[in-house]
Chain A
Amino acid sequence: DADVTQTPRNRITKTGKRIMLECSQTKGHDRMYWYRQDPGLGLRLIYYSFDVKDINKGEISDGYSVSRQAQAKFSLSLESAIPNQTALYFCATSDVDRGYGYTFGSGTRLTVV
């Protein structure tokens, strides 16, 4: 099993719909992150959480919300999806081992039509 699992892998949704992307990890890491990747823009941080009671906004949090249900689970929601939220979304975890370097999930490709 993958260390960081994201579901779904692909999703097409309509403008205005609510959608949730889920992430679970078996690394035992406290720190979890959501990023989006757009061609030519690299990765941009949406939200991050350093433990179950800690939630922080990233660079581009508008239009998104998150929930840290447990140490191992961190979900990202789009309350009312819009086309410019079409992107590849990654969940990641980190800890002090490997210099806080990330372990990424395989990504969710989201298309909003």
Chain B
Amino acid sequence: GEDVEQSLFLSVREGDSSVINCTYTDSSSTYLYWYKQEPGAGLQLLTYIFSNMDMKQDQRLTVLLNKKDKHLSLRIADTQTGDSAIYFCAESLTGNQFYFGTGTSLTVIP
């Protein structure tokens, strides 16, 4: 299967920007996603980007895609304590099969 890698932990201070990184192996991936999982809950789709895009912005969230390096990042501006959660990167070639990273646990320090 495909390999999607993320660092396990990230801590930031409230009000700072958070940047969560992800690398993937399949250069043919068509769709790339970011999900958020809060304690005791299922994953929630935050945003997604098509592989023909370099950047996508949605309010406080900015997704950057570097296809050459197979690197995806999620930037959260003005990070709040409610942003504390586990963030998963995922990729899909065709929208049929998806491959998830192991998740990055974001802790926001007040």
Contact = CB atoms under 8 A, between A and B. Distances in A.
Interface of A: 4, 40-43, 45, 50, 59, 90, 92, 94, 96, 98-107
Interface stretch (B13-21, B44-52, B66-74, B76-84): B44-52
Does more than half of chain A's interface fall in helix, strand or loop, or is it mixed?
mixed
Contacts of A94: 95
Interface residues of B, number: 23
A99 B102 contact: no
Interface string B82-103: 0000001000100111101111
Given A42-B102, A99-B50, A107 B42 contact: yes
Contacts of B40: 106
Contacts of B48: 98-99, 101
B100 A99 contact: no
Nearest to B102: A42
B31 A100 contact: yes
B95 to A, nearest CB: 4
A76 to B, nearest CB: 15
A50 B95 CA distance: 11
B109 interface: no
Contact of B95 (A99, A105, A106): A99
